[in-house]
Amino acid sequence: MHDTEPDTFVYQTWPEKFSDMLKDIGVESQPKEIGTDDVEQGDYYSRFFAHTPRMITNKGCLDVKNSNIDVIHIIQKG
């Protein structure tokens, strides 16, 4: 490793990464545990259209504070 690289790496979940990115632009948010929010239950996409993906992976949620947006749901499609 180079001298400019840290010796340890901090493992972060996707909600923690997105929360840190939002903090950099001044948006207050708090990561939630995967599967604990109501928005994570059920289908994420409609099954009536052929172009919508069937394989969806839930990556977690963020609670956004002081905004009109309540929850950000992070998903991976493909």
What is the rounded CA–CA span in Å between residue 31 and residue 9?
Answer: 19
pLDDT at 36 over 80: yes
Reduce the DSSP state of residue 63 to 3 states and report it: strand
Position 56 confidence tier, pLDDT thresholds 50, 70, 90: confident
- What is the per-residue pLDDT for 47? 65
Let me know: does 61 contact 39? Beta carbons within 8 Å: yes
CA geometry: angle at 14 spanning 47 and 71, to 5°?
65
Burial of 72 (0-12, 13-18, 19+ CB in 10 A): buried
